Structure 1
Amino acid sequence: MTSPILVTGGTGTLGGHLVPLLRASGHDVRILTRHARPATDGIAYVTGDLLKGEGVEAAVDGVETVLHLAGGPKGDDEATRTLVRAASRAGVRHLLYISVIGADRVPLAWMRTKLEAEGAVAGSGIPWTTLRAAQFHDLVFTMVEKTAKLPVFPVPGGLRLQPVDPREVAARLTELALGTPSGLVPDLTGPDVHDLAALARPYLGLRGRRRPMLPVRIPGKAGRAYRAGANLTLDGAQAGKRTWEEFLRERLA
């Protein structure tokens, strides 16, 4: 019998797509979650909190592969260090981390925590794999939906995104988890590059709305980084196939 695969963040958007793929591959899954849940067929839940260090030892006990998907607006670096320490003591043989494109180039605090988390994984002494992905369609949808509630739609000049479908990210992570540790693998992006206006127009059209577009400028170092495309990977990335428009038609059907 193989050991279960531990997934942190297994109840989130990405985990919701990834866990069924792991089960379909024949693996039992253990999920570290802040809220208690009853076990289901092949899926066990361990209650804990990476930021508080609670339940982590029990989560990694007897596990050989860990997929670290959990993340938030702050504290990802400390949470990852907590997981790394426990995984090292437990003899984990493959630690896989999902990061974000631009973690090493965009000067934002939450990006720095992602980069530091990457460093904790790479320096853990555990064989590892890190995948940097673009913004998920779901995240971009939330951003566009909220902004479209304003009477005028602000469009930051020079900001471009490569939204990727989380199902394709989940499929890639499953492939990596079932393979050998590979270090930093090629980034995963969506098939197209859009500015915010191009992302908003099909949304507004499907909603039957109109909004005037107002150009705005992102100030400071972060603005310069975004205008330079530091959050993009235009060469050498693996690109998904599902487009933003296809996602929208399905989401708003």
Structure 2
Amino acid sequence: MTTILVTGGTGTLGRLVTERLRAGGHEVRVLSRHTSPYAVDLRHGGAALDAAVSGVETVVHCASTPRGGDEEAAGQLVDAARRAGVGHLVYISIVGVDRVPMGYYKAKLAVERRVEDSGLGFTILRATQFHDLLVQVFGSLSKAPVLPLPAGASDQPVEVDEVAARLAELALGAPAGRVPDLGGPQVRTLESLARAYLKATGRRRPVVNIPLWGATYRAFRDGGHLAPRRAVGKVTFEEFLARQAGDDGRD
């Protein structure tokens, strides 16, 4: 039985990774800022982090936030993992972190570099955006009388449980370096995804495509965050929405 530490183990992705690993009979430690017995702020490290990684064979690093601090957290985790003799560090990143010049993406790319240079056995998986994120974005945007979208942009949402399954599989294998990206089953315009969301939630809003400016917008418009050749996910956005609504998607 393998002892595995999952950082961010109470989050959207980490919780599902934890469930899958435990279902396979593995001992899993969940690290988050507010969950005992491994309540740790990764940015600060210290004795609590050392205790969390002690005796662990594999770390799955899911903890992340767009509010900043990912690089510091990764540095503390890598140092603790080296001290503990961890054999395998698995990191979940985002498709396009090397092509989209957005602050959060730059931080994720910097973490990838820290992992690669750590001296530890490592595996890095990049995935496209989760269905859940689009629902959050569209839910926020649809509070206005119109639903504004960046003109010309597309997305390739993926089911988070499919990413969790892949991460769990990678955690149980040998370090593999950077593995092929995991993309959702369809590259769709944001407008088509937004209209699917409005239909599923019974909301009526005009959808307005707004041309924007700047390098980040151009990178998204040009598909820097997409992986059309790695459209290996199975669950479509409509299927996800139907499941959320408690429907099986049949008429």
TM-score by length of 1: 0.93
**Deviations, residues 162-205 of structure 1 (Å, cap 9, x unaligned):** 10001000000011011111000011111001122111112211
Aligned to 1:75: 69
The count of residues paired between Structure 1 and Structure 2 equals: 244
1:226 matches 2:220: yes
**2: distance between equivalents of 1:203 and 1:223?**
22
Q: Write the deviation string for residues 16-68 of structure 1: whole angstroms up to 9, x where unpaired.
A: 2111110111101011121143xxxxxxx411110122421111101110000
Q: Percent identity?
A: 51
Residue 125 (structure 1) aligns with: 119
Residue number in structure 2 paired with 1:30: 29
> Pick from 183, 187, 198: which aligns with 1:189?
183
Mapped contact 1:94–1:181 kept (Cα < 8 A)? yes
2:205 is matched with which residue? 211
Is residue 143 of structure 1 aligned with residue 137 of structure 2?
yes
* Contact 1:160–1:229 (Cα < 8 Å) also in 2: yes
In the alignment, what sits opposite 1:15?
A: 14
1:166 and 1:3 map into 2 onto residues whose CA distance is 23
Aligned residue identity for 1:93: G
After superposition, the CA RMSD in angstroms is 1.2
Match of 2:45 in 1: 53
Q: Secondary structure at the match of 1:158?
A: coil
The aligned residue for residue 40 of structure 1 is none
Q: Is the 8 A contact 1:3 1:62 kept in 2?
A: no
1:215 CA drift (Å): 1.4
Does the CA-based 8 Å contact 1:131-1:184 persist in structure 2?
yes
Per-residue CA deviations over 1:109-142 (Å, capped at 9, x if unaligned) read: 1111000000000100001000001111111111
The answer for the alignment partner of 2:56 in structure 1 is 63
Q: Do the aligned residues in 2 keep the contact of 1:122 with 1:128 (CA within 8 Å)?
A: yes
Q: In structure 1, what is the Cα distance between the partners aligned to 2:32 and 2:209?
A: 41
Contact 1:186 1:238 in 2 (8 A): no
Give the SS at the match of 2:228.
coil
Partner Cα separation in structure 1 for residue 116 and residue 19 of structure 2: 27
Which residue is equivalent to 2:3?
A: 4
Residue pair 1:7, 1:29 contacting (<8 A) in 2 also: yes
* Match of residue 42 from structure 1: none
Distance between the aligned counterparts of 1:93 and 1:53, measured in 2?
Answer: 19
Distance 1:34 1:218, change over 3 A: same
C-alpha contact 2:151 2:211 (8 A) present in aligned 1: yes
> How far did residue 252 of structure 1 move?
2.0
1:220 and 1:30 map into 2 onto residues whose CA distance is 42
Aligned partner of residue 50 in structure 2, secondary structure: helix
Aligned amino acid, residue 236 of structure 2: T
Per the normalisation by structure 2, the TM-score is 0.94
Deviation for aligned residue 1:207? 2.2
Report the CA distance between 1:238 and its aligned residue: 5.2
Letter in 2 for 1:81: G
Q: Distance in 2 between matches of 1:62 and 1:32?
A: 14
1:46–1:200 Cα change, 3 Å = same
- Does structure 1 residue 170 correspond to structure 2 residue 169? no
Report if the CA contact (8 A) 1:217-1:223 is conserved: no
Equivalent-residue separation in structure 2 for 1:241 and 1:207 (angstroms): 22
Relative distance call for 1:96 and 1:110 in structure 2 (3 A) is: same
**SS at the partner of 2:60?**
strand
Tell me which stretches of 4 or more aligned residues in structure 1 moved more than 3 Å: none
